[in-house]
Amino acid sequence: MFEILKDFDWMLFLQYLSPMLVLLVAAAVLMVKSILSSDEDELGFEVPFAITIAGLIASFFAAWYFWPKVPNAMIATLYFDRAVFIGWMIVVMATLSVVLISIDTIRESKVTYDGYFTLVLMSAFGMGIIIAAANLITLLIGLEIMSISLYALVVSVRRSDISVEAGLKYFLMGGFALAFFLMGLAFIFGSIGTCDLSLIAQRAPEISDVGARAFYMFGIAMLLIGFGFKIAIVPFHAWAPDTYDGSSTPVTTLLITAAKVAVMIAFMRFALAAAGTFDINWYYVMWGLSAITMLYASLAAIRQYNLKRMLAYSSIVHTGFMLLLFPSAALDHAGVVKAMLFYLISYVVMNIGAFAVISTLVADSSGEVEINRLAGLAKRRPLLAAALSLFLLSLAGFPPTIGFFAKYYLFLTAIKNGDVALVVVAIVASAISIYYYLKPVVVMYFRDETEVGGKAPFANSAVLHPAVVAVLVLSAMAVVFFGVFPNNLIELIRASI
Amino acid sequence: MLELIYRHISLQALIWAVVFLPLLGAAFNGAISVLTAGKERALYKQWTAFIGCLAPILSFLAVLTLFFTLIGFEAGTPSAITGPLFKWIVSSDFMIDVGLKVDQLSLVMALMVSGVGALIHIYSAGYMWNDEGFARYFAELNLFLFFMLLLVLADNLVLMFVGWEGVGLCSYLLIGYWFDDPAKAKAGTKAFIINRIGDVCFLGAIFLIFGVMKASGADSAVDIFNFETMGRYSGYFLPISTAISLLLFSGAVAKSAQIPLHVWLPDAMAGPTPVSALIHAATMVTAGVYMIVRLNFIFVLSPFALSVIAIVGTATAIYGALLALTENNIKRILAYSTISQLGYMFLAIGIGAFSAAAFHMIIHSFFKALLFLCAGSVIFALGGEEDIRKMGGLKDRMPVTAWTFMIAAIALAGIFPASGFFSKDAILWQAYERGHTLIWVIGFLGAGLSSFYIFRLAGSVFFGEPNSEVEVYKKVSESPISMVVPMMLLATLSALGGLVGVSEIFGGSNHLGLWIGDLIQDEISRAPGNTSQGAHLILTVITMLWSAHFSILGWLIYAQKRDWPDRISRKFSPVYKVLVNKFYVNEIYDLVIIRPVIWFSRNILWKVFDKTLIDGVAVEGSSRVIGVIGLLASAAQSGLLQHYLLYFLIGAVVVVACLAL
C-alpha cells in the first residue's frame, strides 16, 4: 500500500487538483461559518454568496491556468489530462450560473444561505472527482459526494411539498441504482482483479475463461444500469421528470446541466475503457438504449403542457442523442470525445439559458410553468421572449445556433462510425422535437394573453436580477457566437484530446 | 495624400471598410427602423438620411483611394488581397476563407457600384422623404450595397454566392417595399422565386467545381474555391466545363433577366424608382455578367457553352428592344431596355469579348441609372403617373431632368461622343472582327431599335404637347436639389465615361479594355487586332448613322406626329399585337408550365398525395400514433415509485440478459 506513495509527488497532485480543492475549501469555510454564527440572519446573504462566487471563479481560473500544463497522466487514481480540465470548466461554469440565477429563489425558500451554498459547492466538488476518476472506486466516491448533496438540495430548496416528494423519489431510486453500481464493481473486481480503468482496458480483452468473462460482462451490465440511472436513460429515467419538475428551478438546472455532464464524461471514459472493445452485445444494447431513449422521451415531451417538465423530457432526449456515440465508441476514441465535449458544452449553455428564463418566470408567479401562460410574452417582454426562443431553437438544433453544430458533429461522428440507422432514428427524434420546442415560441409570439384561460400570464412585472441578466446575455452570446464560429470551440476541444 | 491615408489605416483594413461601412449603415438604420416602429419618425429622418448616405459615400471614397493606390503599382499586377479575415468553414478535407480581393475587374466594378450607389442613396433621400418607412428603406438599401460589394470583392466563389443570395434577398425586400399592395408584394415574390431557379443552377455548378477541385489534387489546406486557386487548376475543368459553364450561365440568366427567365424584371418595377435604378438597372442585374467575366477561365474551355451564351444574349438583345417599342409604362420601357442591353453584354461574352462586356456593363450602369433617376423625377413631379401617353412637354417645366435624360438617351442610342457609343461599338466591332456576322447584323438592328424606343420615350415625355391634365401640368416643377445633383453627376459620367475606353481608331488606347484584359486568358493570347482599322471605322460610322437616324425618327414621330403610330399599328395590327403582348411569353408560360403544374398540383399532388396520403395517413395518422404513444408515456409516468422501480427492474433484466448471457 505505502509502496505506491513512495515516489508520489504530493505537490504536483495538489497543484493539479487545486481547482477542486478551492471548492472544497470554500465549502469548508461556509460550514465553519455556519457553526460559528448562531443567528443565521446576522451576516445575511452577501457573505456566503461572495465566498461561493469567489470559490467558483478561483476554481475556474485555476482550471484555465493549469489546462495547458497538465501532464496527461494518472496520479493516485485521478486522471489529469486536458479533457478533465475542460470538464471541470464546464461544471464550474454551470454551477456558477446556477448560483447566479438562484438568488431570488433561495431568498424565498426556507433553506439557510450557508447550507445551500455549501451543498452546491460540495456537489460541484463531487462532480469534479467523477470527471477525473481513473478508478471505479474513486468514481463511486465522487458519485456519492455529488448525489448526497443533490438529494439534500432537492429537498431543502423547496417551494412546496412537491419538492420533498421529488427528493424522496430521487433518493430512493438513487439508492436502488447504487446497489447495482456496487454490485457491478464487485463483479468486475472479482473477474479481473482491478478497478483501475486503464488496467481494465488492458486486461478485459484478454479474458479467456468463459466464466470470468460472463462475470465481467455481468459487472459491465450492472455498471451500465448504475450510470443509466444517473444520466436518465430510458427505462431507468422514471425519476427524472418528477424530480426535475418538482425541484426548484436552480436545483433543476444543476441536476440537468452540471450533474449530467459530470456523469456523462465518466460514463464515456468507462465505455471507452471497459466496454465495446470486443463485445458485439455492447453494440446492440447501447443501440437499443439510445434509440428507445430518444424516441420515448420525444414522444412523452410532446404531451407536456408544463415548460419545465417538457425541458426535463428534452434533457432525456439529449441524453439519447449523446448515446448515439456509444455503440461504436471503440472505433474512434478521439472523434467520440471531441463530439461529446462539444455536445456537452452546447447542451449546458442552452439549458442554462432556458432555465434562467424560467427562473425569472417562476420568481414572478408561483406554481407550474404552464406553456399557455407564456401567451403574449413577446409583446410584454420582447427581449425575454426572444431569449427563450433562441435557446429553444438552439435546443431543437436550428442553425446558426450552437445546438445545430453540436448535433452536426454528433451525427457526423456516428455516421463515420457506421451507425447510419441510429442517426436516422435520431433525425426522426429531432423532427419530433421541433414540435415541442416550437410550441412555446408559437404561444409567446402568436397568442394573445387573453387566451391563457383564466390564469394570469407570466412575467408582467418581474424585474430581472442583474445576475440573471448576466447569465442570459452570456449564454445567448455563446449560443450565437459558437453557432456562427464553431471552429473556436472545436479547436479548443481538439487541443484537449 | 495616399501616404497620409496609409499612415492611419492599412490597405487591408481599407478594403474591409469598403464592404462593412454599408453594413454599419444598414445596422444603424435597421435599429432606428425597429426602435421607432409606430412612433413619430420625423425626428429620426435627418439621422437616417445622413448615415444612410454617408456610409456609401465613405465606401466610395475608400474604393477611390484603392484605385489610386493600385494604378500606382508599377511592377506586377495591380491587385491586392486582404487575406483571410477568418476561416469560415473548416472541415477535415476542405476549408473556405472569408477574404476579399481587389484586382482590375473587381476594382472597376466596385467603383461603379459604390459610386452609382452613393449617388442613388443621395437621390433616395429626396425621393423617399415623405415615405412612412424611410429608415427601413435605407436599411435595406444599405444592406443591398453591402451584399453587392461583397459579391464584387469576394475572393472565393462561395463568398461570392453569399453576396449573390444577399442581393437577391434585398431585391425581394425592396421590390415588395410597399407590401401593403398585394400586386407589389407578388412582384417581389415572383422575382425571388425565378431567381431561386438560377440559384439552384449556381449551387449545382459550385458542387461540380468542388468535385473538380477535389479531383485536381489541390492542397486541401487552402481555400479551393479561391478564384486564384481555381484559375491555377483551370485545366482540370476541361472535361465538364460545358456542364459547369451552362449551370453558371443559368444562374446568370435568372439574375440578369435573360430569355427565358426575364419575366421578373418588368414586374420588379413595382419597387421605388431609385431601387429600380440601383438594383434592377445598374448593379444587381449585371452581377451575372460580372460572375461570368470573373470565371472566364472556365467558360473559355467550352466553345459550346459560349455559343449558347451568344445565342441567348443576341436573342434577348433584340427581344427586349422589340418589347420596349410598344410598352407605355415609362419604367417598364426602361426595364425592357435593361434586358436588351444585358443581352448585348452576354452577346459579347458569348463571342469571347469579356472585357468589352465589362466595359459596356460599367457604361450601361451610368446611363441606365440616370434614365431611371430621370424617370423617377418625372414620376415624382407628376404624383405617381407612369403612363407616357399622359405626359409630354415636360422640358419646359423640368429642364434639368429633360436635358440629363437626353444625354442618357444619346448614350443609350450610341451616338458619338456619348459614352454608350464607345462601349456598344466595342461589342459590335468584336462581333464583326471575330467573324460572327449574323450576330453583328442582329446587334446592328437592335442598336437601331434601341435608338428608336428611347427617343420615342424622350419625345413623348419631354417634348410636344402636354397630354397630362392642365392642373397637374401647371403644378409640375423641378425636383429637389438632392435629386437633381446626382442626376447631373451621372449625366457627366454618361457623357464622358466612354473616354476610359476610346478605341484605337479614334486615337484612344482603350485603357479599360486593356486593363481588364490582363485578367482574361483568352484575350491575353489574342494579339490586338490593328489589321483592319479602316473596316472598323467604316462600320462604326455606319452604325452611328443608323442609330442617329432612328433616334431622330423616334423623336420626330413621338414629339410631333403622335397620330402616326396609331395608324401604323392599325396597319400592322398582327405584329403589333404580338409585341404588345410581349410575344405572349407570360401566356405561354401560363399555358405550358403554370396551368399544368397547377392542375398536377391540385389533382394529383394535393388531392391524392397531400389530402389522402400525407394529411390523412402520414400527418394525421402519425400524429394520432404519436398522440397514443404520448398518452401511454404520460400514463406510465404515474408518480408512483413502485411503478418506476418496476420499469427500472425490467430494464435491468433486459440489459443484463443481453450483455451477460
For residue B229, the model assigns a pLDDT of 83
Mark yes or no for CB contact A221/B87 under 8 Å. no
Query: What pLDDT does B39 receive?
Result: 61
Asked if B356 and B498 count as a contact pair (C-beta separation under 8 A), the reply is no
Contacts of A32 (CB under 8 A, 6+ apart): none
Helix (H), strand (E), coil (C) string for B3-56? HHHHHHCCHHHHHHHHHHHHHHHHHHHHHHHHHCCCCCCHHHHHHHHHHHHHHH
Residue A277 has pLDDT above 70, yes or no: no
Look up residue B405 and give its amino acid.
F
- The pLDDT value recorded for residue A117 is 92
Among candidate residues A177, A174, A45, the one with its CA nearest the CA of residue A106: A45
Residue of A nearest to B633 (CA): A300
Residue with C-alpha cell 432556458?
A354
Task: Give whichever of A237-241, A317-321, B267-271 has the largest mean pLDDT.
Answer: A317-321
Cβ-Cβ contacts under 8 Å, B660 against chain A? 214, 217-218, 220-221
Select from B212, B225, B205, B216 the least CA-distant residue to B96: B225
Among the partner residues B90, B637, B655, nearest to A238 by beta-carbon distance: B637
Among A28-37, A191-200, B575-584, name the one with the lowest average pLDDT.
Answer: B575-584
A418-446, pLDDT tens digit by residue? 889 999 999 999 988 998 999 899 888 88
The pLDDT assigned to A343 comes to 95
Measured at the CA of B597, the angle between CA B591 and CA B600, to 5 degrees, comes to 120
Q: How far are the Cα atoms of A286, B198, B574 from residue B445, in angstroms, in the given order? A: 75, 29, 21
- Residues 6 or more apart in contact with residue B6 via CB below 8 angstroms: B69
Please state the domain count of chain B: 2
Find the angle CA(B352)-CA(B357)-CA(B358) to the nearest 5 degrees: 125
Q: Which residue shows C-alpha cell 401593403?
A: B180
Q: Is B232 strand, coil or helix? A: helix
pLDDT at site B576? 67
The grid coordinates listed for B570 are 392599325
Residues 6+ apart with CB under 8 A from A250: A98, A99, A101, A102, A105, A106, A157, A355, A359
Peptide bond into B274 cis (omega under 30): no
- The verdict on A241 touching B (C-beta cutoff 8 Å) is yes
- Rounded Cα–Cα distance for residues B109 and B515 (Å): 13
Of A326, A349, A315, which is closest to residue A486 (Cα–Cα)? A349
Read off the C-alpha cell for A261. Answer: 455532464
Residue B435 confidence (pLDDT): 79
Chain B residues within 8 A of A242 when measuring between CB atoms: 637, 639
Closest CB to B648: pick one of A236, A299, A487.
A236
Q: Which residue of A has its CA nearest to B643?
A: A238
Q: Which amino acid is at B153?
A: L
Give the residues across from B86 on adjacent strands: B98
Instruction: Please choose, from the candidates A222, A88, A68, the residue with its C-alpha nearest in 3D space to the C-alpha of residue A142.
Output: A88
* For residues A101-127, average pLDDT: 87
pLDDT for the residue A371: 86
Peptide bond into A205 cis (omega under 30): no
Domain limits at B613?
584-660
- Do the beta carbons of residue B631 and residue A303 sit within 8 Å? yes
Segments in chain B below pLDDT 50: none
C-alpha A238/C-alpha B644 separation (Å) is 5
pLDDT higher than threshold 70 for residue A454 = no
Q: What are phi and psi of A74, to 5 degrees?
A: -105, 125
Which residues are bridge partners to B381 per DSSP? none
| Domain assignment present for B319 | no
Q: What is the mean pLDDT of chain B?
A: 82
Complex ipTM: 0.85
Contact B647 A236 (CB under 8 A): yes
A286: contact with B, CB 8 A cutoff: no
Contact at 8 Å (CB) between B99 and B156?
Answer: yes
Check pLDDT > 90 for residue A329.
Answer: no
Could you give the maximum distance between any two Cα atoms of chain A, in Å? Answer: 74
User: Beta A73-75 vs A78-80: how paired, if at all?
Assistant: antiparallel
The reply to whether A432 touches chain B by the CB within 8 Å rule is: yes
Residue A451: predicted pLDDT: 59
Cell of B294: 470573373
Using the predicted structure, report yes or no on whether residue A376 has a pLDDT greater than 60.
yes
The verdict on A176 touching B (C-beta cutoff 8 Å) is yes
Contact A234/B at CB under 8 A:
yes
Q: By the CB < 8 Å criterion, does A182 face chain B?
A: no
Number of alpha carbons in the 13 Å side-chain half-sphere of residue B131: 20
3-state helix/strand/coil string of B573-619: HHHHHHHHCHHHHHHHHHHHHHHHHHHHHHHHHHHHHHHHHHHHHHH
Task: With CA atoms as reference, report the closest residue to B100 among B18, B173, B181.
Answer: B18
Candidates A176, A326, A332, A482: best to mutate against B (most CBs of B within 10 A) is A176
For helices A382-396 and A466-484, give the axis angle rounded to 10 degrees.
40
Residue in A with minimal Cα distance to B651: A235
Quote the pLDDT of residue A150: 94
pLDDT for residue A151:
93
Q: Residue A264: what pLDDT? A: 95
**Taking CB atoms and an 8 Å cutoff, what residues of chain A touch B633?**
296, 299-300, 303
Q: How far apart are CA A467 and CA A239, in angstroms?
A: 31
Angle at A453 between CA A448 and CA A457, to 5 degrees: 60
Tell me, yes or no, if A271 comes closer than 8 A to chain B by beta carbon: no
- Cα A245 from Cα A311, distance rounded (Å): 9
* Structural domain includes residue B394: no
CB distance from A119 to chain B under 8 Å?
A: no
Nearest one of A1, A102, A117 to A48, comparing CA atoms? A117
Q: What is the pLDDT of residue B3?
A: 77
Neighbours of B538 (CB within 10 A): 12
CA distance B629 to chain A (A): 7
Instruction: Enter the C-alpha cell of residue B478.
Output: 423641378
CB < 8 Å to B87, chain A:
487
Amino acid at B176: G
Q: How far is CA A455 from CA A91, A366, A449, in A?
A: 37, 11, 10
pLDDT value at A113 more than 90: no
Q: Locate cell 397637374: which residue?
A: B472
The gap from C-alpha A79 to its chain's centroid, in whole angstroms, comes to 20
Which three cell numbers mark B241?
466545363
Q: Which of A141, A152, A295, A94 is nearest to B632 (CA)?
A: A295
Q: Which of B140, B136, B152 is nearest to B60 (CA)?
A: B152
Q: Which residues of B442-471 are buried (b: 16+ CB within 10 A; e: fewer)?
A: bbbebbbbbbbbbbbbbbbbbbbebbbeee
- Asked whether the beta carbons of residue B633 and residue A299 sit closer than 8 angstroms, the reply is yes
Distance CA B486, CA A105 (A): 62
Contact residues on chain B for A281, CB-CB shorter than 8 A: 658-659
A197-219: average pLDDT: 86
Q: Which residues of A touch B647 (CB under 8 A)?
A: 235-236, 238
Closest by CA to A316, choosing from A297, A302, A288, is: A297
Do the beta carbons of residue B153 and residue B101 sit within 8 Å?
A: yes
Q: Which of B19, B172, B147 is nearest to B82 (CA)?
A: B19
